[in-house]
Chain A
């Protein structure tokens, strides 16, 4: 069964235009001008139950807007959404009982009261049975190590502590879908790792479907089997992470450390004849070579190693997702995006 089914979803906003100068301001007093901004442009995708899907894109690409429509906060301009069998904005109050939502930048806990008080209140809001609540709380508190935080007011928690509490708050009613909007933003690496481990376990043990937006691609690498990439309101990639790397990872980089000082000219000479190979010098004895995907890495390696230059160390770098995504964002050129769309269709 599909957890999320989105068809030709569109969201348009009316944004007020402020005219310039005194005259403009006076005119604005009487007649406002508006511009239409289309934040999400007819996107479609399906997410089956039990999948962890990463939803990525630059700031302003339309990620949060989509999440807000999926969670019933925003009403779409057109298109169809079905989440857990509900149309989110129409049956909001019944629907939200079956989902959990964490917005990394907004707290759902009450600022002035103890964490446990917030949890108790949420128990009543979601009508969770007392016994279920206790069992679930014990389990969550143990896996996220919250024991001694429960009686503190939220305003006295650190960001990492708060985020772990947010997760508990979103999961107390055992939702089948969890929406996470930048859940690891601003957290240190230890807490990030903890949260990733926790989410993996949640998915494994309860089959919880997870849709997360993030700017931290390590979240994606650690968690997601699937990535949906958004740019300017359109989906430019939807598929596996490995495939993404394959398609856009243009090559590999190898770093050599020589025993004697080298010059860029010398090392470039070593690989003459290989098309597209590019050398850069790191310091006196270290140089990096970039090898396009079409070439066989071992061919290039053997040529360098077989030369007269003596080598003390070799490192091979696989292009990581960060770079790929940066490349896609950056190129932003019409043909790259066209190409990307082509790839999605093909």
Chain B
């Protein structure tokens, strides 16, 4: 059983590898994204030394690290699930002695591992030569970072599962999926670190799962959070992961009752 789930990771990895052009253009896109944010922030800083407690070098590192995390946690499971619900192929998957949601998660993981190893690592090497990125040398920090982006993956995937499952309840969840995507990029801190948000917004965001996806791991990795704060950050992620299991199970159960497979 467990080996079947591992196979879903492996096969998604191989499938991604099968599309070469996608692969090479992916590396370029990651480098361009990081570059674009670097030049944008450089322009915003102008002659200022620090903004929101970040120096230019720290900001550049923060951006590079955020993208590295995003490479791992990002996936299109919401779209895949909603497509499978709408074209009815979810029915086929439910005739197998295996959990549909777990299979989806494993496929997302296969994609994440692929992007991290084959897109982000070469992308980061290119970026460190071009821009003033300074990655930590402390091995413990690296280990914690990987634990944290594992949680980022889990939380982001949970949000994706929920968004995708909405297709069971509404005729078209396209709008919802787009909204979710923008929300995650904006509120998780990929586009703008939390520190730049006004105080009330920061307070509100502390009650939402988004910062746990990018802001917390990137802050720990770049050293903005240290000591006891690191464990706090990790605890926040773990709590969000546990909390989000509940709505997913409820939605899945409700969906099984209303499931109307398209095409009779």
Chain A contacts to B: CB under 8 angstroms: 13-16, 39, 59-60, 64-65, 68, 71-75, 89, 92-94, 96-97, 99, 101, 103, 105-108, 110, 112-113, 117, 120-122, 124-127
Contacts and interface: CB of A to CB of B under 8 A. Distances in A.
B261 interface: yes
B4 interface: yes
B259 A96 contact: no
A106 B264 contact: no
Given A39-B264, A124-B7, 14 more contacts: A13-B260, A15-B260, A16-B171, A65-B264, A71-B94, A74-B259, A101-B95, A103-B91, A108-B92, A121-B4, A121-B7, A121-B8, A124-B3, A125-B96
Contacts of A39: 264
Contact of A112 (B18, B97, B98, B171): B18
B243 interface: no
Contacts of A13: 260
B92 A103 contact: yes
6 contacts: A15-B260, A65-B264, A93-B98, A106-B92, A108-B95, A125-B98
B257 interface: yes
A272 to B, nearest CB: 51
A73 B97 contact: no
B96 A73 contact: no
Q: Shortest 6 CB-CB distances between A and B: which pairs?
A: A124-B4, A101-B95, A97-B97, A125-B4, A112-B15, A108-B92
Interface residues of B, number: 28
Interface string B248-264: 00000000111111011
A71 B95 contact: yes
Contacts of B260: 13, 15
A181 to B, nearest CB: 10
A121 B11 CA distance: 9
A73 B95 contact: yes
Given A60-B264, A103-B91, A14 B98 contact: no
B97 A94 contact: yes
A64 B264 contact: yes
Contacts of A112: 15, 18
A125 B97 CA distance: 7
A243 B240 CA distance: 63
B85 to A, nearest CB: 12
B263 A73 contact: no
Given A16-B171, A113-B15, A117-B11, A75 B256 contact: yes
Contacts of B98: 93, 125
Given A68-B261, A73-B259, A113-B11, A106 B88 contact: yes
Contacts of B88: 106
A93 B99 contact: yes
B220 to A, nearest CB: 37
Interface of B: 1, 3-4, 7-8, 11, 14-15, 18, 88-89, 91-92, 94-99, 171, 256-261, 263-264
Contact of B94 (A73, A97, A113, A126): A73
Contacts of A15: 260
Nearest to A153: B18
Contacts of A64: 261, 263-264
A191 to B, nearest CB: 21
Contacts of A125: 4, 96-98
Nearest to B170: A16
Contacts of A117: 11
Nearest to B260: A13
A264 B141 CA distance: 98
Contacts of A65: 264
A105 B263 CA distance: 10
A107 B87 CA distance: 12
A106 B91 contact: yes
A60 B263 CA distance: 9
Given A16-B171, A65-B264, A121-B4, A110 B97 contact: no
Nearest to B96: A125
A36 to B, nearest CB: 12
Contacts of B257: 75
B109 to A, nearest CB: 16
A64 B259 CA distance: 13
Contacts of B7: 120-121, 124
Contacts of B94: 71-73, 92, 96
Nearest to A99: B95
A59 B95 CA distance: 23
Max count, chain B CB within 10 A of own CB: residue among A65, A68, A89? A68
A141 B1 CA distance: 25
A38 to B, nearest CB: 13
A73 B15 contact: no
B96 A96 contact: yes
A125 to B, nearest CB: 5
Contacts of A89: 256
